[in-house]
Structure 1
Amino acid sequence: MAERDTSRDIDQAASDWTARLDRGPLTSGEEDALQAWLGGDPRARGALLRARALSMFSESAQALGDDFDPAAFEEPGPPRSRRLSRRQALAWTGGAAAAASLVALGVGMPAAGAVISTERGEIRLAPLKDGSTVLLNTETRIRVKYSAGERLVTLLKGEAYFSVARDETRPFIVEVDGRRLSTAQAGFRVRKLGGDPVDVLVNQGQVEVAPLKLAAPADPVALTANTRLVLSDPIGGRSVAERPQAVGPEAVTRELAWREGKLAFEGETLKQAADTFARYSDTRIQVRDPDLAREPVTGLFAANDPVGFSRAIARVFDARLEQKGEEVVLTRDPSRATGSH
């Protein structure tokens, strides 16, 4: 019986195939060999997706060049409030981490009661007057109102990461859907998307979660580093029992990859991945084959490059890609679906 390849063997083969694909089109013999390799081990498809995603990530970083200087993009004269256009935001959030930091250059200090928002595909860093910062993900809207007694931010919609400067006398509070998230110092993400439950992820410090109004006294739920809490809807003005869940460091990194303009997947279906890309771009990924839509996706991808993502998917899952304006259509011949090799 042949010895089963190790994960390292699979990853090395995926890297080799990625390098070969980057050199140009495959011959018919090479294409057959690639499809045979992809169908021979269930780990192969995920490994090739990861390798292709890493290759695209490296290319986007290299595109900035060794001489890239963010200061060159600053306008002369005194600093002033300036928003990035959608085109600029889409271009920069898809680059390396250094490019993502450019967004902070054009954001002025918000006044008390100010509303700060982002458009689709835009990531915006808002410095607050106490030294805290809020990083707003795509299509996010917050309201900031500071007073002598508290630092208050209301998340109206979207997703935001809060880096809270320490102040033991004036708590930092995020209000969202009838809850108050309070801390003296922490780093945490809050997500409110459509009809989905509010999702809180803490990766530094401690955050206490309590309902805004209670018919009866209740202890707040304490979230420590590397924990998350999915908020339930209060019933009759009373809080519903909620239990924080421990989250591993790798999962935290994936959840927060958007801060660098990236999307990280670890087994989500292609349909779920396509829906996620739709939050960041006007280009829509349509998956016409139901079996293809259920294929698991693994890898790190540029949030503003649904076409590049679709090309990688088409290659790995032997699918056909057709681009029609702002729509990318993925289809697959049923005879070549997974398991038919």
Structure 2
Amino acid sequence: MVTPPPEERARINAEASAWLARLQGPQRTAETEAALQDWLRADDAHQAAFERATEIWDLLPGAVVAGHVEPIERPSRRFAPMAMAASFLAMVGAGALTLYMGQAPVLSTHVGEQHSTTLDDGSRVALNTDSHLTVHFARAERRISLEQGEAMFDVAHDTSRPFIVSVGNEHIKALGTAFVVRKDGDQVRVTLLRGRVEVTRDGARPQLLAVLRPGDRLSAGASDAPRLDRPALDTVTAWRRGELLFDGTPLADAVAEVNRYDHVQVVVEDPRLRALPISGVFNTDDATEFAAAAAQLHGLKVRRQADTLLLTP
């Protein structure tokens, strides 16, 4: 599927949100449902947008999907299978899901890619850019190994088979919950969207790092003490909408985030510029747009060298 330009993608996302709202009100009729089916079939981008909107609404009930709709209750998942199927077929065609005969399923994405699928137990997984994980399902437990990158999990409830995500020495145990896990080098971040998770660390005696409540984020590193905070969940999950949200973020941190999604890399060499604050909403697939906006905001210059965008005073 060809990715639409930013303006077109914003319009499609808004339309997907509007369709969700229509399914909730008294205006829902057989004609409305038929029109939605026509809209979904018209373009693969429509199906992908509706899938993202439905997943976000389901994970964060009451959230505004694209800033235009105030949902009252969860929408029906009646039309989700079509979008999920389209997404799954696109994943298989792109090689995002590889099944090795007699081995565990492996899910991966390249830089700038995002893919989602439903596992055998009904749990949903969405992979962010440049991510890699392996699925190990057994009779007694469901285990995921996240080797790199970031993933959102919406776990199917099954008390007899714990769902565990392992990231290095850290292990996240969940029962019927939704959360985001991100691995940056030896740093691991776990953000709980819904439900309850326990985070433990390997050692001579396994250590319980935290029991998270919805909205909590645990950050842990090999040599750092675990830290708890409560970030804006809309910021944590913005990548599912193809967006990055910054609110007074130091330029150096914003650049590091933007560079995760594009082969074109933004570079800030002058230490005087690294702490400059950046606020706004940016597309994950447009480092050039971000560099231009940062330059305009702070009176900087952008110099392009091959696949590098250098920000200078």
Q: TM-score, normalised by structure 2?
A: 0.68
Return the alpha-carbon distance in structure 2 between the equivalents of residues 209 and 230 of structure 1: 11
Q: Does 1:206 align with 2:196?
A: yes
Return the alpha-carbon distance in structure 2 between the equivalents of residues 171 and 65 of structure 1: 37
Return the alpha-carbon distance in structure 1 between the equivalents of residues 194 and 212 of structure 2: 10
In structure 2, the CA distance between the partners of 1:198 and 1:316, relative to structure 1 (3 Å rule), is same
Partner of 1:121: 112
1:290 aligned partner, one-letter code = P
Residue aligned with 1:210, SS: strand
Deviation string for 1:224-245 (max 9, x for gaps)? 21111122438xxxxx9746x2
Partner of 2:124: 133
Partner of 2:250: 269
Partner of 2:284: 303
Partner of 1:329: 310
Return the alpha-carbon distance in structure 1 between the equivalents of residues 170 and 269 of structure 2: 40
2:91 aligned partner, one-letter code = V
Structure 1 residue 146: deviation in Å? 0.8
In structure 2, the CA distance between the partners of 1:65 and 1:163, relative to structure 1 (3 Å rule), is closer
Comparing both structures, which one devotes a greater share of its residues to strand? 2
1:147-296 to structure 2, matched below 5 A, reads: 147-195=138-186, 197-212=187-202, 214-216=203-205, 221-233=210-222, 242=226, 245-248=228-231, 251-296=232-277
In structure 2, the CA distance between the partners of 1:157 and 1:320, relative to structure 1 (3 Å rule), is same
In structure 2, the CA distance between the partners of 1:283 and 1:110, relative to structure 1 (3 Å rule), is closer
Return the alpha-carbon distance in structure 2 between the equivalents of residues 187 and 316 of structure 1: 36
Return the alpha-carbon distance in structure 1 between the equivalents of residues 41 and 290 of structure 2: 31
More RCO (CA 8 Å, sep 6+)? 1
Return the alpha-carbon distance in structure 2 between the equivalents of residues 199 and 324 of structure 1: 33
In structure 2, the CA distance between the partners of 1:119 and 1:194, relative to structure 1 (3 Å rule), is same
Q: Does 1:143 align with 2:127?
A: no
Residue aligned with 2:272, SS: helix
Residue aligned with 1:208, SS: strand
Residue aligned with 1:293, SS: coil
Give the paired residue count: 245
In structure 2, the CA distance between the partners of 1:271 and 1:70, relative to structure 1 (3 Å rule), is farther
Structure 1 residue 132: deviation in Å? 0.5
Return the alpha-carbon distance in structure 1 between the equivalents of residues 210 and 243 of structure 2: 31
Q: Does 1:71 align with 2:41?
A: yes
The answer (yes or no) to whether the contact 1:110–1:129 under 8 Å persists in 2 is: no
Deviation string for 1:304-340 (max 9, x for gaps)? 11111112122221222233432222222xxxxxxxx
Structure 1 residue 162: deviation in Å? 0.7
Return the alpha-carbon distance in structure 2 between the equivalents of residues 281 and 309 of structure 1: 11
Residue aligned with 1:182, SS: strand
2:211 aligned partner, one-letter code = A
Of residues 321-330 and 221-230 in structure 1, the stretch that sits farther from structure 2 once superposed is: 321-330
Return the alpha-carbon distance in structure 1 between the equivalents of residues 12 and 180 of structure 2: 30
In structure 2, the CA distance between the partners of 1:255 and 1:65, relative to structure 1 (3 Å rule), is closer
- Runs of at least 5 residues in structure 2 that lack an aligned partner in the other structure: 16-35, 45-65, 68-79
In structure 2, the CA distance between the partners of 1:69 and 1:104, relative to structure 1 (3 Å rule), is farther
Deviation string for 1:276-327 (max 9, x for gaps)? 1111111111235433332110111001111111121222212222334322
Residue aligned with 2:292, SS: helix
Return the alpha-carbon distance in structure 2 between the equivalents of residues 242 and 271 of structure 1: 23
Structure 1 residue 159: deviation in Å? 0.9
Return the alpha-carbon distance in structure 1 between the equivalents of residues 226 and 305 of structure 2: 45
Return the alpha-carbon distance in structure 2 between the equivalents of residues 301 and 269 of structure 1: 15
Identify the match of residue 11 of structure 2 among 54, 62, 73: 62
Deviation string for 1:2-49 (max 9, x for gaps)? xxxxxxxxxxxxxxxxxxxxxxxxxxxxxxxxxxxxxxxxxxxxxxxx
Residue aligned with 1:71, SS: helix
In structure 2, the CA distance between the partners of 1:326 and 1:219, relative to structure 1 (3 Å rule), is closer
Q: TM-score, normalised by structure 1?
A: 0.63
Q: CA RMSD in A?
A: 3.2
Partner of 2:90: 106
In structure 2, the CA distance between the partners of 1:216 and 1:285, relative to structure 1 (3 Å rule), is closer
- Runs of at least 5 residues in structure 1 that lack an aligned partner in the other structure: 1-55, 75-95, 235-239, 333-341
